[in-house]
Chains A and B, each alone.
Chain A
Amino acid sequence: MTRRHWAPAMFVAALCGCASVSPGNPDGSAVVTESPSFVMQLPEGWFVKPVPRRDDRASLTRDGAAVQRWDMDWIRWNAAVRYRGERLRAETLPSDIALQLVAARNDEYGNAWFDVDSVEPLTVAGHDAFRVEYRARQIGGPGRRTVLYGIVGRRGVYVMAFEALETHFFERDIGAFEEFVASLRARRPL
């Protein structure tokens, strides 16, 4: 197996929670997820960090999760939305799902406050999706900005969120994240 074949295979393993060590990404490789079945192009220098016991969640970072992180999460309909206890319902409007996910994420990170700047509909890889942008802060912590995409499918919502320190890192890395989302190709419908 050549290096060209190894890198994507490692990422598949990492995203599926099978690899115990996060591989680096010296060449800018493809990220392949099995559930849902997506392929995305990961920019150079980013690391995948699988979430223990969750083969459908992963985080990526370049300088450390406290500085900037991309979170990918596959939430099926009727699943509890993390710590909120509320369930994700297929009949909920996408704009309401967007705000539900933002509230859940803020709960999870213990932010003192958050302000939503925009929430808009769009299409990602042929699927209905939404993009929500917000700012948040913990007591004593620096300001952080987040862009969260939700791709709505028949079985649930695939979430891709980019969160970074408001100063410097958000502006520096948002372009790479947008390219990462734009590179997403669905191998099978969500």
Chain B
Amino acid sequence: MKHLREPRPALRLRRRVLQTALGCLALPFVPALAWADEFEGDPLKSFAWPGMRREFLGRDARVTWDDRRVVVEGPRFAEDPMNVPISVRVDAALGPVQEILVLVDRNPIRKVLSYEPQQALPRIAFRFRLEQGSPVRAAVRTADGRWHVGSAFVASTGGGCTVSGVTRADGSWSRTLGEVSGRMFTPTQDATRLRVRVMHPMDTGLVAGIPAFYLSRLSLRDGQDRELARLASFEPVSENPVFSFDFAQPPEGGVFIVGNDNNGNRIRSRLQ
């Protein structure tokens, strides 16, 4: 794990003194004060974080750094910056999860997706475009409104967001737009997994002359049309995205996926 910047010794000392002092008091408002350093406690010490926290989590957001219970996994380096696999797993000990928000510090577009697991397990896997080496964050909002943030660092030689995808480059995207393939799997004893691919060029808007064009909303529904989980996805998600959604039990009466892109094209498919 690469540290973006080593804290100065004086700062480190000051923080230790503060932490000790606050630890003794154990007050409920500790988090707001604990970030006496300029990185607000970010273990990866990214200068981008405080601004991201304000923009995406809220000015008064309460943040707990928790790599143990919010596990973000990625490769050490991005061999294919157009398709960087990320998986997020939230420990059941955190209780019910309202939202999993995935953010990337050094991407020109930082918000990758927002997942509301509802009836599903708080886990998601997908691939995204990475512009340069960067921390990848999963911010998990629990019922009490608190954010629990886990991170991973993915190194890269760069260039994922500003290059056209394969189907955009060869023009074949229009023939397959919105087509869906997917299947239920049993990767482990305790989970049923839906893996689904939706054909979409997922244009970031950062390639000259090609406006942003991306899947913006996907809803997973059971056989009775009850919503199981909801996903808002944004420009950085990879072309023809493959998502993995986990459930404790196989959904009743099969699964439907419905949704649309930012141009209003609809997706509706029965998966199982």
The answer on A and B forming one complex is no
Residues of B at the A interface (CB closer than 8 Å) are: none
